Amino acid sequence: MPGGGPERARPPFRTRDDGPVLFELEDVTATRAGRVVFEGLRAGLADGVTGIVGPSGVGKSTLLRLLNRLADPTVGTVRYRGRDLREEDVLALRRDVGLVPQLPALLEGSVADNVLYGPRLAKRGADVAGSLRLAGLDLAFGPRRADALSVGEQQRVMLARTLALQPSVLLLDEPTSALDDTTKSAIEATLRDLRDRLGLSFVLVTHDLDQAARLADRVLVLEPGALREAPAAAAPNR
Amino acid sequence: MTAAIQIGLGDVAATLALVAVAVAVAVWERTDLEGDIAVAAARSFIQLTAIGYVIKAIFASDSIVWVVLLLAVMVVFGAVTARARAKRVPHAFWTLLFALAIAATATLAVILALGVFPTKARYLVPVGGMVIGNAMTAAAVALNRLGDEIHDAAARIEATLALGATTTQAVRPVARRSLRSGIIPLIDSTKTTGLIFFPGTMVGMLLAGASPIDAVRLQLVLLYVLLGAVALATLLAVLLSRRAFFTAEHQLREMAPPQSNLGA
């Protein structure tokens, strides 16, 4: 881990039937732009890598935003490791449950400025080189201007700056949607590496069922009002 | 002021010839502005004549109560007008009302405390009017920019919140740019005053027969007063408004689309 934090290796992946539940959604209703996105959603997301797929507009991104409280449900409760999210300190929660948004949204300044941003706010030290390396970038990127990078590189900087906070969970919103096939494969390899080396839990939202199957231990399909197991054909095949 | 000049209604009517030039240009070039020009000329005549009589009455009474009342009315109209420019800012009217009232009160209090002007309607009404007018324009520009920037930069602001930033930290670059956009026009016009244009007060004093040096000194006093007032009003408007975009849990509220016709 960047900065060499406490050992956070966790046991091999266990399903929610026999392992710890990371997130629980209890009768959750969410609205966006005055429209009900989903209603009465009940689900458990286990430790490990959960892929969430579904057609656009069904509320995948909205669901992700509920997990680190960028938004709150209008009705219902979301629990993180058994605790109501509303009882958590919201800033500490967001550092522990890091969200990487769909489109790059970097700050002005250098790549290093971006990587150091979160840790500085939290008054922590950070290992820029280590975070960049984990995201598949070398240290030479540090002084480069963030807005002069390619979209794929920006996506990696987004990942690096979230990793610099040493989160235990990563929420990934369509991490490769803006990328070409080559870059997409490279990012997927980076994500697999993070999963295997750091034992991070991911909640990965994607419209690409194959990608979910390649990366996730368990794939759920978000349908209007329900989060279901993916059909067997789409089961993880790694 | 020494020899005040006399201007009759006939003189005013004569200058309508130049309004006719503006209308002719509009008709000739089909800019579709002739109606607006006519409305502007008529409204300015009615509004200024009305306020002229109000001010005349207030000067005659020389009562501070009337001065305060008139300035309060100006603050309310200023807030209503500026709100129309700040359509994306929640509760902009109350924020603007507060910002303009504080800016006007603080500025006039400092001027009086320094003994620059005596506490008389003849000084407080025009200076107060200038302060409120300039503060209104600057605050409106800043809040308009704030609303647009937060709307356009929503993804970046949320990405910053997702890294554990507080509302204040996440909105800081946007708030800074909004503040600059409100204050910079006055700074620029203050920098170029005397070189590119003669400000209104100085022109008025020269026309009224004052000595150029007196006219310049009064103009300088007003420019410096306006800088302070505009900075204060803009700062208050931006600081108070930025919170309205977020919840107490550091979440960016969903933004309503701008309302199309807010009555000004």
**Predicted ipTM of the assembly:** 0.87
Say if A236 falls within a structural domain: no
- Taking residues A71-76, report their average pLDDT: 95
Contact of A72 with B249, CB cutoff 8 Å:
yes
- Res B264: pLDDT: 33
Provide the pLDDT confidence category of residue B246 given band limits of 50, 70 and 90. very high
B128-159 pLDDT tens trace:
999 999 999 999 999 999 999 999 999 999 99
Say if A1 falls within a structural domain: no
**Domain parsing of chain B, residue ranges:** 7-61, 63-244
Query: Of residues A236 and B217, which shows the higher confidence score?
Result: B217
Say if A216 falls within a structural domain: yes
Which residues of chain A make contact with B161, given a CB cutoff of 8 A? 70, 94
Q: For residue B26, give both structure tokens.
A: 């509009």
Q: How many domains does chain A have?
A: 1
- Res B258: pLDDT: 52
- Res B199: pLDDT: 85
Say if A7 falls within a structural domain: no
Taking alpha carbons only, the member of B66, B78, B80 closest to residue B124 is B66
B90-110 pLDDT tens trace:
999 999 999 999 999 999 999
Provide the pLDDT confidence category of residue A33 given band limits of 50, 70 and 90. confident
A119 SS3 class: helix
- Res A1: pLDDT: 40
Confidence check: pLDDT of B261 > 50? no
Which residues of chain B make contact with A162, given a CB cutoff of 8 A? 162-163
The reply to whether residue B163 touches residue A94, judged by beta carbons under 8 angstroms, is: yes
- Res A233: pLDDT: 53
Taking alpha carbons only, the member of B246, B263, B264 closest to residue B255 is B246
Contact of B85 with B140, CB cutoff 8 Å:
yes
B193-211 pLDDT tens trace:
888 778 888 888 888 888 9
Residue A234 to chain B, least CA–CA distance (Å)? 31
Q: Domain of A53?
A: 21-230
Residue A95 to chain B, least CA–CA distance (Å)? 6
Q: What architecture is domain B63-244? A: Up-down Bundle (1.20)
- Res B196: pLDDT: 76
CATH number at residue A30: 3.40.50.300
Query: Could you please report the per-residue DSSP string of chain B?
Result: --SPPP--HHHHHHHHHHHHHHHHHHHHTT-S-HHHHHHHHHHHHHHHHHHHHHHHHHHHHT-HHHHHHHHHHHHHHHHHHHHHH-TTSTTHHHHHHHHHHHHHHHHHHHHHHHTSS-S-HHHHHHHHHHHHHHHHHHHHHHHHHHHHHHHHTHHHHHHHHTTT--HHHHHHHHHHHHHHHHHHHHHHHHHHBTTTB--HHHHHHHHTT--HHHHHHHHHHHHHHHHHHHHHHHHHHHHHHHHHTB-TTS-BPPPPPPPS----
Provide the pLDDT confidence category of residue A197 given band limits of 50, 70 and 90. confident
- Taking residues A104-113, report their average pLDDT: 93
Say if A121 falls within a structural domain: yes
Say if A110 falls within a structural domain: yes
